[in-house]
Structures are given as structure tokens and as C-alpha cells.
């Protein structure tokens, strides 16, 4: 037998009741569930849709559809990591590399302006924090629109850079900018070097993060067109 539109909608609700609220995750699970439900109802015409669904859910083991959800989200995260390295390579090999270089040179110039050899560190910290918060504000409306899609929500993992960035900037200001001259020994030097490397990583990421989010938005828009939600 073939499930009709109302039965498909009922299956989506049953999947949602199991805790899978993202629309694209529901359809990913539905692809695996619908055919099996059809088979069970064909074998036993007296079997209700909800009972057939429970049987299919039980057949996936104690974790239910968690494996399908994890596999789907893992695929999305792998795709986003691919976007990151793709955009990083594009930045480093195109004329756009001029922009971060010019910004960096301007920030370094602050050491002359303020007559402080380490002021460029404080300037980079300020630039990173201001830019990160600008990105959050810029994409807040889109977040509200796409928040029901795992395809977009996965890109929010990149916004965890903000928490990482806040921690890095705070420690950089304290242990590199403010206390660098008073600290001696190998460990403080290594710790300061790690913080500076993290600052460089955050600085470069600023110039590619918006492009990654835009690709994630485009992927989600494509899903919306397919699912019609």
C-alpha cells in the first residue's frame, strides 16, 4: 500500500513526539520509516498507522532514531567543515587576502600612534570582539527564520567561536598585553604564544565566517523548497 498525504503528516507528528523537532531531520527519518510502515500495514491491513510506527521505532533498538539523526547531523557538520577549508583556501589564494592584510597593518600601526609596542594586541582583541558581535546581529533575523532546520542550526556551532573568542581575548589581554613584561619562564612564554596563535585563527575566521553561514542558509533554503515548509 502507499501512504497518503494525511498519513505522511501523521508520521511526521509521531516523529516529532519522539523529540525530533527539526524539519529536515524529520524528513530524513521519514525516508527510512515510511517504506517500512507501508510494508507492515500491507502485511497486516488491520494494523493502525501508530502501531506500525511503534513497531518500526522499536526495530531501531533502545536508541530509536537517534542513530539516523546523528548520521544526518554528522553529514551536515562534515559539509560545514568542508566549507570552512574551502573558504580559507579561497581567501588565501585570491585578491581578498588584501583586506585582512590591510586591517592587520592598520592595527599594527596603532603601536606607533599610542607609543605602546603591544597596543596592536589590544586593537586586534577589540576588532575581533566588535566584528563577532556584528556578525551575530547581522544573522539574528535569519536565525529566527531557519531555526527549525538542522541544516542551519549546525552552522551555529561556528558561533561557538564567539565564546571561544571571548575567553581567548580576555586571557590575551591579561596574560599577553597586560602582564607580558612581568612574566618569566618557559610556560608563560608558551601560553602567550598559544594565545597569540588563537588570536590569529580568530582574526582570519572573521573574514570567512559570514560566507560559511551564507552557504548554510542557501542549503536550508534548498530544503525549504523541497519540503515546502
Task: Kindly report whether the global pTM for this prediction surpasses the value 0.95.
Answer: no
Would you call 165 helix, strand, or coil by DSSP? helix
* Residues 6+ away with beta carbon under 8 Å from 75: none
| pLDDT value for 184 | 62
* Position 107 in a domain: yes
Q: Which of 64, 99, 114 is the last residue of a domain?
A: 64
Q: Cα-atom radius of gyration of the chain, to the nearest Å?
A: 25
Domains held by the chain: number: 2
The stretch 13-19 carries a mean pLDDT of 88
- As a whole number of angstroms, the distance between CA 170 and CA 190 comes to 17
First to last CA, the chain: 26
| pLDDT value for 93 | 92
Regarding whether 93 and 179 lie in a shared domain, the answer is: yes
Q: Which of 45, 64, 83 is the last residue of a domain?
A: 64
Grid coordinates given for 198: 588563537
pLDDT tens-digit map of 95-127: 999 999 998 888 888 767 777 777 788 888 888
* Position 198 in a domain: yes
Regarding whether 205 and 92 lie in a shared domain, the answer is: yes
Regarding whether 93 and 36 lie in a shared domain, the answer is: no
* Position 206 in a domain: yes
Regarding whether 55 and 78 lie in a shared domain, the answer is: no
* Position 69 in a domain: no
Among 33-42, 71-80, 144-153, which stretch is predicted with the lowest mean pLDDT? Answer: 144-153
Please give the C-alpha separations between residue 210 and each of 15, 63, 155, 159, in angstroms, as whole numbers: 33, 36, 10, 10
Residue with cell 612574566: 183
Asked if residue 3 has pLDDT above 60, the reply is yes
Neighbouring CB atoms inside 10 A of 67's CB total 11
DSSP state of 159: G
Asked if residue 157 has pLDDT above 70, the reply is no
* Position 192 in a domain: yes
State the residue range of the domain holding 37: 5-64
CA angle 148, 71, 82 (to 5 degrees): 80
Regarding whether 39 and 92 lie in a shared domain, the answer is: no
Please give the C-alpha separations between residue 191 and each of 13, 160, 165, 195, in angstroms, as whole numbers: 51, 22, 16, 6
Regarding whether 49 and 83 lie in a shared domain, the answer is: no
Amino acid at each position: 500500500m502507499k501512504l497518503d498525504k494525511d498519513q505522511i503528516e501523521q508520521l511526521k507528528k509521531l516523529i516529532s513526539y519522539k523529540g525530533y523537532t527539526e524539519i529536515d531531520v524529520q524528513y530524513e527519518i521519514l525516508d527510512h520509516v515510511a517504506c517500512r510502515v507501508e510494508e507492515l500495514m500491507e502485511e497486516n491491513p488491520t494494523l493502525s498507522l501508530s502501531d506500525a510506527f511503534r513497531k518500526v521505532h522499536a526495530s531501531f533498538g533502545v536508541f530509536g532514531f537517534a542513530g539516523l539523526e546523528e548520521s544526518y547531523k554528522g553529514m551536515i557538520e562534515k559539509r560545514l567543515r568542508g566549507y570552512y577549508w574551502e573558504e580559507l583556501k579561497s581567501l588565501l589564494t585570491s585578491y581578498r587576502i588584501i583586506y585582512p592584510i590591510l586591517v592587520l597593518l592598520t592595527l599594527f600601526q596603532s603601536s606607533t600612534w599610542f607609543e605602546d609596542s603591544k597596543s596592536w594586541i589590544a586593537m586586534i582583541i577589540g576588532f575581533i570582539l566588535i566584528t563577532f558581535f556584528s556578525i551575530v546581529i547581522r544573522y539574528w533575523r535569519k536565525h529566527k527564520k531557519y531555526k527549525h532546520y538542522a541544516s542551519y542550526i549546525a552552522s551555529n556551532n561556528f558561533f561557538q567561536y564567539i565564546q571561544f573568542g571571548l575567553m581567548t581575548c580576555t586571557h590575551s589581554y591579561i596574560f599577553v598585553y597586560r602582564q607580558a613584561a612581568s612574566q618569566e619562564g618557559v610556560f608563560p612564554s608558551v601560553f602567550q604564544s598559544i594565545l597569540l596563535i588563537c588570536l590569529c585563527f580568530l582574526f582570519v575566521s572573521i573574514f570567512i565566517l559570514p560566507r560559511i553561514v551564507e552557504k548554510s542558509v542557501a542549503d536550508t533554503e534548498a530544503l525549504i523548497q523541497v519540503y515546502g515548509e
